A and B are shown apart, each in its own frame.
Chain A
Amino acid sequence: MNYYESKDLNRFAEVGKFKPQLMRKFFEYYGDATGSEGALTKREKALIALAISHFKQCPYCIDAYTTASLEAGANPEQMSEAIHVAAAMAAGMTLVHGVQMLNNLEKSGA
């Protein structure tokens, strides 16, 4: 048994066992935000979700949004570009903290 089992995603709703009303609100919001056409297409939303799934390294979400992207008509090049955006953002977020390092260096007279 692995720590993450892909079939456990089907048990997501069980997280509402002790607070069903909060979970209901979450699923309603989640469905509205990710699952419908709006100012963004379902394909664009699926690609954003795929990128975030990688950034946050959620195996359930990577499985789900790989399929969702394909079912929304995205192609492997678009999906790969989406995760490169996530990777570049992650690298940028690491590197931009280098300014903090520089500030501290200056403060310490280095």
Chain B
Amino acid sequence: MKTEALHVLNFKKYDFEQKLYENNLDLPPLNIETLQVNVTLKCNQACLHCHVDSSPKRTEQMSKETIDKCLEILVKHPQIINLDLTGGAPELNPNFDYFVTEAKKLGKHILVRHNLTVTIDGDPTTKESKFYLPKFYADNNVEVISSLPYYQEYFTDKQRGKGVFQKSIESLKMLNDVGYGNENTELKLDLVYNPVGAFLPACQQDLEKDFKKELWEKYQIKFNNLYTITNMPIHRFKEQLERLGTYDEYMEKLVNAFNPSAAKGVMCRSLLSVSYDGKIFDCDFNQMLNLQIYDNEPLTVFNFSYEKLQKRKIIFDSHCFGCTAGAGSSCGGAISE
């Protein structure tokens, strides 16, 4: 094959590895501190931007056997200090409460990506109520990280569905009532903002001030931190961009806003992402793109090797520009100032 033809085949329009090379950046894994586990793809919401393509129709969920394997990994590896539970709505896995209480017994810091409305909507299939969740979280000192894309109804409902804002406010009040968001308790309640469209998040600190002022003045709601997260140009959000004809414009925006300091802090360096069926990935986004970690064989919770995982090469692709644009983006919000 001619060299020019090979060049065309190898050409990547948005080449993240090339960008790292141009910036003299090498991003090997650091110590693995967090096991992020996606326990179900089922969700009571079906958000426009969802990179997981979650909805009430999804049925995939982690079995108790796989949860026990994750717990075994947490026992054997004291250096993994955080268990980060996500989904879908993770609470919709029937073994969710078991997972939390067992991990608590191990002394792990537990974080739950909680969509707020699941407390009120309950299970879309069984209609089982989840009103016990705030107290359950407080009893297990879970750090609650809740999606609330905006402090106003319009943007929130536009992204997450009609009625979501009002239900989220109700649910936040329930969390406040058991002590969440109060600086005098240890119970941490963080909110997650992500843009309702093809633009980058505003400055995290500025938005946090706005959220705190508006939510307190209008609803007397308190929370600890606001995390700003960039929308990932994959799956449902990518489809939306393509429908609007703005995919390339959005990608160019992300590439032009590449921030080397944010790149150094990307979460995949200190986190592992586990899918409902036990496969291991560098992050939740790679999980959704099925970019599984291999070391001669696919790595899973059933053949878990901390040593092999620390020596792995993190799989980067064009979507990684989403984590390195502007102030950066991670499950813990902005990465750099």
Contacts and interface: CB of A to CB of B under 8 A. Distances in A.
Interface of A: 41, 43, 67, 70-73, 75-77
Contacts of B203: 72-73
B98 interface: no
A29 to B, nearest CB: 21
Contacts of A73: 202-203, 206-207, 210
Given A70-B197, A71-B202, 8 more contacts: A70-B195, A73-B202, A73-B210, A75-B150, A75-B210, A76-B152, A76-B155, A77-B152
B195 A43 contact: no
B219 interface: no
6 contacts: A43-B206, A71-B200, A71-B201, A72-B202, A73-B206, A75-B150
B199 interface: yes
Contacts of A72: 202-203, 206
Contacts of B131: none
Contact of A70 (B152, B199, B210): B199
A45 B246 CA distance: 26
B154 interface: yes
Nearest to A7: B249
A78 to B, nearest CB: 10
A71 B206 contact: no
Interface centre among A70, A72, A73, A76 (most CB of B within 10 A): A73
B202 A70 contact: yes
A83 B59 CA distance: 47
B258 to A, nearest CB: 16
A70 B195 CA distance: 8
Interface in B192-213: 195, 197, 199-203, 206-207, 210
A32 to B, nearest CB: 19
Contacts of A43: 202, 206
A43 B209 CA distance: 13
A67 B197 CA distance: 10
Interface centre among B152, B154, B202, B207 (most CB of A within 10 A): B202
Interface centre among B152, B154, B199, B201 (most CB of A within 10 A): B199
B152 A75 contact: yes
Contacts of A71: 199-202
B217 to A, nearest CB: 14
A73 B203 CA distance: 7
B248 to A, nearest CB: 10
Contacts of A70: 195, 197, 199, 202
A11 B195 CA distance: 27
The 8 closest A-B pairs by CB, nearest first: A73-B202, A70-B199, A67-B199, A73-B206, A73-B207, A71-B200, A71-B199, A72-B202
A41 B195 CA distance: 20
Nearest to B196: A70
Contacts of B199: 67, 70-71
A67 B152 CA distance: 18
Contacts of A77: 152
B186 to A, nearest CB: 30
Contacts of A67: 199
Nearest to B202: A73
A6 to B, nearest CB: 9
Contacts of B201: 71
A101 to B, nearest CB: 42
Contacts of A41: 206
A71 B198 CA distance: 10
A51 to B, nearest CB: 19
B154 A76 contact: yes
B191 to A, nearest CB: 14
Interface in B202-238: 202-203, 206-207, 210
B174 to A, nearest CB: 26
